[in-house]
Amino acid sequence: MKPARVMASDEETELELANRLFAEIAALSADDKGVSRPAFSDIETRTLAHLEAFARNEGLSVWYDDGGNAKFALPEDADAGRYVIVGSHVDSVPQGGNFDGLAGVMAGLMCLIRAHRAGARFARPVHVLAMRAEESPWFGPCYIGSKILTGTLRADELAARHKADHRPMSSHMADLGLPVDCIERGEPLTDLAAIEAYIELHIEQGPLLVGKDIPAAVVSGIRGNLRHREVCCRGEEGHSGAVPRAFRKDPVLAMADLLVRLDESWSTILNMGDDLVLTSGMVGTDPKSHAMTRIPDAVTFSLDIRSQSAATLDAMRDLLRAEMLQVERERKVRFELDAEMRVEPARCDPELVERLKAAMAAVGQEPFVMASGGGHDAAVFSAAGIPAAMVFVRNRNGSHNPAESMELADFVAGTDIVHAFLMGVPV
pLDDT of residue 83: 98
Collapsed DSSP state (helix, strand, coil) of residue 120: coil
pLDDT value at residue 9: 41
Q: Kindly report, residue by residue over 185-208, the tens digit of the pLDDT.
A: 999 999 999 999 999 999 998 888
pTM for the model stands at: 0.81
Ranges of residues in the chain whose predicted pLDDT is under 70: 1-10, 426-427
Q: Is 201 in a helix, a strand, or coil?
A: strand
Q: What is the 3-state secondary structure (H, E, C) of 213-274?
A: CCCEEEEEEECEEEEEEEEEEECCCEECCCCCHHHCCCHHHHHHHHHHHHHHHHHHHHHCCC
pLDDT at residue 12, as a whole number: 84
HSE, CB side, 13 Å, CA atoms: give it for residue 241. 2
Q: What is the pLDDT of residue 165?
A: 93
Query: Which pLDDT score, from 0 to 100, does residue 426 have?
Result: 62
What is the pLDDT at residue 10? 56
201: nearest Cα among 391, 398, 420, 395: 391
> Coil, helix or strand for 194?
helix
* Closest residue by Cα to residue 224 from 405, 373, 56, 106: 373
Determine the pLDDT at residue 5: 38
| Backbone dihedral angles phi then psi of residue 93, each to the nearest 5 degrees | -75, 165
Residue 397 has a pLDDT of 86
Cα distances (angstroms) measured from residue 60 to each of 2, 122, 172, 194, 243: 16, 14, 29, 20, 70
CA distance 84 to 92: 25
